[in-house]
Amino acid sequence: MKIIAGNWKMNGTRANLIDMVTALQKVDTENNVILCVPYTMLGVKSDRNISLGAQDVSAHDHGAYTGEVSASMIADSGAKYVIVGHSERRQYHNETNDTVRQKAAAALSAGLTPIICVGETMEEKQAGKTMEIIESGVRESIPNDIDKNIIVAYEPRWAIGAGLTPTSEEIAEAHKLIADTLTAMGLSGTPVLYGASVKGSNAAEIMSIENVDGVLVGGASLKPDDFIPIITSVK
């Protein structure tokens, strides 16, 4: 069983999501399928095989924070997951590992599973800092003293939306480091997803790499014709 999560980013309509859910209901799979969609689409009815998630959450529970949405509100919509620390939040909203940890803690306290993203920029990669950024991302973005109700996603930031993917060796090395770091933190068994330019043609190969428990898919999660082949590429 793998986790196949879609991140719609700022795309789509409720009608698109209803079409996707209708198409996915016909797919015979034991994989755990998650769709992380804009807030306005949460609450669209999905069946038990497809869970919805948000793409960001406030670190605050309620109050005078205009424009923010809290974890308890996301849970109230029926969603089960929330992405935190996506590279686009880190890049465009200056989110740091500290911010991400607070948001993940807020998600956990409302009973949501945070999908905590880490990954290096091209600059960091070129400076030979990939492993350092990944390890500090994992150590600093995950709240202390928690149960295992989290998912980690490794998203090499330079490869997102670029049609680029790291080599299988690079993915294996990053995921081994993440798995080892999680074990050292008492969180062994935490699922770790790979995300960046995943598509039907590379999904099976990526998910056959050790310590890759699933994928987080951007562009190729928007249309059933692109997303379903990813879901059915693995048992």
The residues of the shown chain that bind ligand 13P, judged by CB under 6 A, are 7, 86, 155, 160-161, 195-198, 216-220
50 versus 154: smaller Cβ distance to ligand 13P: 154
Q: Report the alpha-carbon distance of residue 84 to residue 86 in Å, rounded.
A: 6
57 versus 198: smaller Cβ distance to ligand 13P: 198
Task: Identify whether 175 is a catalytic site residue.
Answer: no
217: number of Cβ within 10 Å:
28
Q: Least distance (Å) from ligand 13P to the CB of residue 28?
A: 24
- ∠ CA 208-211-214, nearest 5°, is 65
Q: Least distance (Å) from ligand 13P to the CB of residue 198?
A: 5
174: number of Cβ within 10 Å:
25
Per annotation, catalytic residue among 88, 95, 155, 175: 155
Residue 182 near residue 212 (C-beta atoms within 8 A): no
Per annotation, catalytic residue among 68, 86, 93, 173: 86
Task: Identify whether 86 is a catalytic site residue.
Answer: yes
Q: Least distance (Å) from ligand 13P to the CB of residue 194?
A: 10
3-state SS of 117-186 is: EECCCHHHHHCCCHHHHHHHHHHHHCCCCCCCCCEEEECCHHHCCCCCCCCHHHHHHHHHHHHHHHHHCC
Q: Report the alpha-carbon distance of residue 193 to residue 214 in Å, rounded.
A: 5
Q: Least distance (Å) from ligand 13P to the CB of residue 199?
A: 8
180 versus 226: smaller Cβ distance to ligand 13P: 226
55 versus 97: smaller Cβ distance to ligand 13P: 55
- Residues known to be catalytic: 86, 155
